[in-house]
Amino acid sequence: MTARHILVVGGQRSGKSRFAEDLVLRSGRRPVYIATGGAGDAEMGERIARHRTRRGPDWSTVEEPLDLGGAIDRAAGEGTAVLVDCLTLWLSNLIEAKREIDRETDGLLAALGRTSAAVVLVSNEVGSGIIPDNALARRYADALGTLNQRVAASVGRVVLVAAGQPVILKPSPVSEIAL
């Protein structure tokens, strides 16, 4: 488990990216943004533009849709704080490219273990609604749930953002939870 890494999860438009950006900026380290999504349509292009404008010129940006572990290896260094936004789109890219998700996740977790940088990873929580009615959507929701669990197990902190409000999930006072 790597204490300097944080997973930030939440629903769509929950405020998780803004919260993660603030974490990186407050670290006092040089901010690096690893973008996993591309502008596949006009609406996504507008989202990306809003995020870039909000971050400002102090951020270095790396665009990497597939080789997330390699991107962390290349971008992260002593004195940097890396924001990966987001695992949700990365997983979509892996599925579309017919990549082996477990192997790619192993590579991501290995990179997190190697780096001296602080890394904040953003991911959506999609498993709180109804079970999707088609096989691809079910496969995706299952795969994202598993990915989030694996990343959460490997980082020191997990934060859920809902309605712009952070709730710390890890570390949790498990010893205080009992029947």
Task: Give the DSSP per-residue string, 16-31.
Answer: HHHHHHHHHHHTTSEE
Residue 51 annotated among the catalytic residues of the structure:
yes
Question: Coil, strand or helix: which one is 50?
Answer: helix
- pTM here is 0.91
Domains of the chain by start residue, with CATH: 2-172 (3.40.50.300)
Express each pLDDT in 109-124 by its tens digit: 999 999 999 999 999 9
Express each pLDDT in 3-39 by its tens digit: 689 999 999 889 999 999 999 999 999 999 999 987 6
The one catalytic residue in 5, 16, 51, 55 is 51
Quick one: residue 133, left, alpha or beta (phi over 0 = left, psi -120 to 50 = alpha)?
A: alpha
Express each pLDDT in 91-148 by its tens digit: 999 999 999 999 999 999 999 999 999 999 999 998 887 888 899 999 999 999 999 9
Q: What is residue 131's DSSP assignment?
A: P
The residue ranges of DSSP E strands in 14-154, in sequence order, are 30-35, 60-63, 80-85, 118-124
Mean pLDDT of the chain: 91
At 107, which amino acid appears?
A: G
Please state, in angstroms and rounded to a whole number, the distance separating the CA atoms of residues 171 and 167. 11
